[in-house]
A and B are shown apart, each in its own frame.
Chain A
Amino acid sequence: MTYRLELENYHWDALNCCGCKGCIWVDHVYCSGVKYGMRCPSLHEYELDTYSAIGRTKLALGLLDGTFQFTPTALDIIYKCNLCMACDIGCKRNLDLDPGMVLETLRIRAVEKGAGPLPAHKKIAENIAKSGNRYGGAAAKRQAWLPKDAKIAKTPEMVYFAGCNSSYKRTGLATATAGILDTCGAKWAPFPGEQCCGHPLYVSGMAEAALKQATANIEALKKSGATTVVTACAECYKTWKVDYPKMMDKRTDVMGYKVIHITELAAQKLKDGTLKPTHPVNMIVAYHDACNLGRASDSWVPWHGTRGKWGVTQPPKTYRRGANAPYQPARDILDAIPGLVRKEFIRTRENTMCCGAGGGVMDAYPEFAHHTADHRLEEAEDVGAEAVVSACPYCDENFAQTAASTDRKLKVYDVVQLLYQSLTGRGTL
């Protein structure tokens, strides 16, 4: 394990929490009132302070000093969290602590101690070890979504990393992404020998296994000759951009590759006129900022140093405050689609509320995941939307399942689907 992924390295951050609860509230400037004033899904669901960064950092201190062990209660507290990083950037509004890394390293420590992960996560890990994907689907069928007429470059500049969900479940997203890449005129190819990015392993604390996935995928990328990875999955995006360098203790910008989300590429191609959406999509939509394409996705910058008087870091630490995420491209795409009216959620961008799926929650605590999604869907209804649009297949899946199991009338789409529909007149709307 690399230096930075030790819980001890975040002891200072845990110790210096002053309990202000900036980790749970929407940035006060953006507070809209009582109903949507909170952005921590875990506290929203379970209500005890325990189920917030405040409680978890206190638990971490107790685990570090030996007061507590990894009991079932401790694991429950640790894993009933979406790792959505609302707390992390909330804390960096005023305090510049790293509660997000406390949460991540708590899980890593739980696994090291043999207590974690949870049974649902172990099953996923088994699937990945066996088949290279989280669902246990046949490896040979991973790229069955690839359209026969896709314009695959022999010497690609970019490779499309579809991710497990788009490869096996929501394959329409992969197909639409391929279509957009073709329309953009990109020199692309599907990711050769793609395996799970490792996200489900990393978030459940299995960092060693996640690092193996990272190493294999980076090796495959090198062999492809491409230097850019494009993805339509927010989780894969964040894993390549943030977690790979984090696990390898490197800066994102020295990894030797660039990772972009398809929305970034498409927005750029809309701007330069390459993409021309002409078919109307008559719909009022609310765009949901996926955590992993938003506040959690600032580039990783490792810090090796010491804290001196007043906690001042030497060398100065670079703070990841969630301010540099690609929040705008998906919005630009939606705004370019004729007939489509885009509404903002009340909680947007760095203040977004997680859909509820992240951090392994949908696997281990599906009821919690659906409650959070339902709360978010209610917010979409309150702003007058007919559909919720995201740029992450896991958000998409959680919203769709929740909407189907409740009396919500909302439809659920990925921004890529809507763009593809408007570009081609074809699609699944």
Chain B
Amino acid sequence: MIPHEAFEALKQVVGPKYISQEPEVCRAYTLKDRGFHTAEARVLGRDPVCVVLPGSTEEVQAIVRIANRYKIGYTPASTLWFPQAGPRFDDCLFIDLKRFNSLDVDPVNMNATCGTGVIFAQLQAEALKYGLYTMTPGGGSQVGVVPNHLVWSFSPLTYRVGMANRRIMGCEWVLPSGEVVRLGSLASGNDPFWGEGIGSDLRGILRGSIGWFGSLGIVTRMCVKLFPFHTEPLPPTGISPNTFLKFPENRMKWYNFTCPSKDALIQFMYDIGHAEIAAAATRVPVAWRYIAKAKSKEDFWENWNKPEGKREEVTGSHVLRVLLIGYTSAKQLEYEEKVLMAIAEKNGAEHRRTFQGDQSWMQSADSVSMWWLTGAFMSVTGQVDTIDCGIKTGMEFAKLKATFTPPTMPDYGDQGWFQTNDFGHSGYLEFLNYWDPNDKPEELHRVDEYYQVAGPKLLIRCGALSFFIQTDSPLTLDGPNYGPHYDKFARKVKDALDPLYNCNPPGILDVIDEVVEKAPWLKKLKNWE
């Protein structure tokens, strides 16, 4: 419980409609039964004791100050999609930011100022009305724009528009002290065109290596970059669940290529980048193709559960999927297609038929399908590196995962989803894992071991810069191996800005360590050396 006085003070701030401490109401915000089924959710997840929905930055400031006065830990979240943004400690005040749903597109300066409750599907839909676009991240169309821009938000479209945290033009940030700071161009009033604001630019502190997952204050507003798109409409078509945006094929086209080897596929990716063509280039896991074709879960498993020849099919599949967009004209698409075909020929790739519409990535990203297969999903690494290095980690994970299959879903040696970013200057690999949350406890403990202990150890061994690293303080990988010790730096920032450790305690820094310490079946395995 939070003190009665504190509750009354909070109620004064937001009004009775937007606050509750009734257990039946608060249960909606738990992580425990939220389908994550990870040790983190199972061990740390709990119900908040109070939920509050502020409607303005001033209300957020007042809430934070009340929390500080009464020493109440709080967790802010936009859509509560990410486990670390959920209540993980006793007596948690949960700050639901969905009422921050303002969205202003500046079509001239090509940016949008979003409230924290706005999701990507909404931003993309509004941007397209002005002939602009952004990417929809792998986390899905339903994730919040603001929090996702503070982490390593990726999708195949990142190839051209870059990592999300580089697209932040300005922020409105309520510090753990309750003060409001405006960063970047939002610091200088209502002209978010300039990324840099007056004086020192603190966006770097807020972004950190991979953001703070709500543990360094609350961002209530953010201005993000948008990019020029073509002006042809993308009509939504079909009835759920078979819906897609229809492509104007003179301006947008998917191309699938079968490459003779993984090396040829990687070279193909680099060549596309060198030629500075395309809007996306990605290799998708074979299981995703089965998902796309399946009419139901049962249908998927009937087809996937045929092991004969599946290993050869999976490990021998080198399908590259490329999106071309004629941003400026149909002639641009024609030109890029010629270049693409020449590159394909050079790399011995065979052009295959594919569906010409957007079922995923433009406005709708079906990350939720990852749960549909088995009931539980989690990535063990999301790695930004060169394409070659990313793939090496994927190959190592494939070997490791084989030793944990079962209980993890058989994927016949798939080496992960990878793509190229920044016109080939970097690559991205994500290694995906599925398991059955209704397995026996000992099987779930094996999954925990894989995800919480064996996976991080592998990352250390590979020297992989994963988006999980920052949450793995025992690893201190960003420290000795990568120059300035990021973990220590982050702790100093947290100490300075949130000395009470009220803001989503204990911070992002100790999650894996904390889970491992609190789960007896993991603690005995802990060995970070």
Q: Which residues of A contact B (CB under 8 A)?
A: 12, 14-22, 25, 27-34, 37, 46-50, 52, 54-55, 57-59, 61-62, 67-68, 71, 73-74, 77, 89-90, 92-96, 307, 309-313, 316-317, 319, 321-323, 327, 349-351
Residues in B with CB closer than 8 Å to A29 are: 236-238, 243-245, 358, 363-364
Report the bound CA distance from A349 to B236 in whole Å.
13
Q: Let me know if B436 and A311 touch, CB within 8 A.
A: yes
Q: Let me know if A16 and B35 touch, CB within 8 A.
A: yes
Q: Let me know if B122 and A313 touch, CB within 8 A.
A: no
- Listed from nearest, the 9 A-B pairs whose CB atoms lie closest are A18-B35, A55-B28, A28-B364, A94-B368, A28-B141, A28-B121, A31-B121, A316-B298, A29-B243
Report the bound CA distance from A250 to B91 in whole Å.
48
Q: Which residue of B101, B141, B241 is within 8 Å of A34 (Cβ)?
A: B101
Interface of B is mostly: loop
Known: A31-B122, A68-B23. 18 other contacts (CB 8 A): A18-B371, A29-B238, A29-B363, A31-B141, A34-B103, A48-B51, A49-B96, A50-B20, A50-B51, A55-B28, A92-B241, A93-B243, A94-B241, A96-B296, A310-B373, A313-B297, A321-B240, A323-B241
> Chain A: which residue is nearest B291 at the CB level?
A94
Residues in B with CB closer than 8 Å to A47 are: 17-18, 53, 96, 98-99
Q: Let me know if A16 and B81 touch, CB within 8 A.
A: no
Q: How large is the interface on B (under 10, 10 to 19, 20 to 34, 35 or more residues)?
A: 35 or more
Q: How many pairs, one residue from A and one from B, have CB atoms within 8 Å of each other in the complex?
A: 191
Q: Give the residues from 334 to 348 in chain B that come closer than 8 angstroms, CB to CB, to chain A.
A: none
Q: Let me know if B243 and A30 touch, CB within 8 A.
A: yes
Q: How far is the CB of A55 from chain B (nearest CB, A)?
A: 3
Q: Let me know if B122 and A310 touch, CB within 8 A.
A: no
Residues in A with CB closer than 8 Å to B375 are: 16, 310-311
Residues in A with CB closer than 8 Å to B142 are: 20-22, 25, 28
Report the bound CA distance from A322 to B63 in whole Å.
42
Q: How far is the CB of B493 from chain A (nearest CB, A)?
A: 29
Report the bound CA distance from A377 to B460 in whole Å.
58
Over the window 87-120 of chain B, the binary record of Cβ atoms lying under 8 Å from chain A Cβ atoms (1 yes, 0 no) is 0000000001011011100000000000000110
Residues in B with CB closer than 8 Å to A18 are: 34-36, 368, 371, 377
> Chain B: which residue is nearest A314 at the CB level?
B298
> Chain A: which residue is nearest B36 at the CB level?
A18
> Chain A: which residue is nearest B18 at the CB level?
A47
Q: Give the residues from 1 to 43 in chain B that come closer than 8 angstroms, CB to CB, to chain A.
A: 17-18, 20, 22-30, 33-36
Report the bound CA distance from A27 to B360 in whole Å.
12
Report the bound CA distance from A54 to B126 in whole Å.
26
Q: How far is the CB of B355 from chain A (nearest CB, A)?
A: 14
25 contacting pairs across A/B (C-beta < 8 A): A15-B35, A16-B371, A17-B34, A20-B367, A25-B121, A27-B364, A29-B237, A29-B244, A29-B245, A30-B236, A30-B243, A33-B129, A34-B103, A46-B17, A47-B17, A50-B27, A57-B33, A58-B34, A89-B240, A94-B372, A95-B368, A307-B438, A309-B436, A313-B297, A316-B299
> Chain A: which residue is nearest B86 at the CB level?
A19
Q: Let me know if B30 and A58 touch, CB within 8 A.
A: yes
Q: Answer whether residue B125 sits at the interface, using C-beta atoms and an 8 A cutoff.
A: yes
Residues in B with CB closer than 8 Å to A62 are: 24, 27
Q: Let me know if A22 and B297 touch, CB within 8 A.
A: no
Q: How far is the CB of A100 from chain B (nearest CB, A)?
A: 14
Q: Which residue of B24, B30, B243, B296 is within 8 Å of A27 (Cβ)?
A: B243
Q: Let me know if B25 and A94 touch, CB within 8 A.
A: no
Residues in A with CB closer than 8 Å to B496 are: none
Residues in B with CB closer than 8 Å to A310 are: 297, 301, 373-375, 409, 436
Q: Answer whether residue B444 sits at the interface, using C-beta atoms and an 8 A cutoff.
A: no
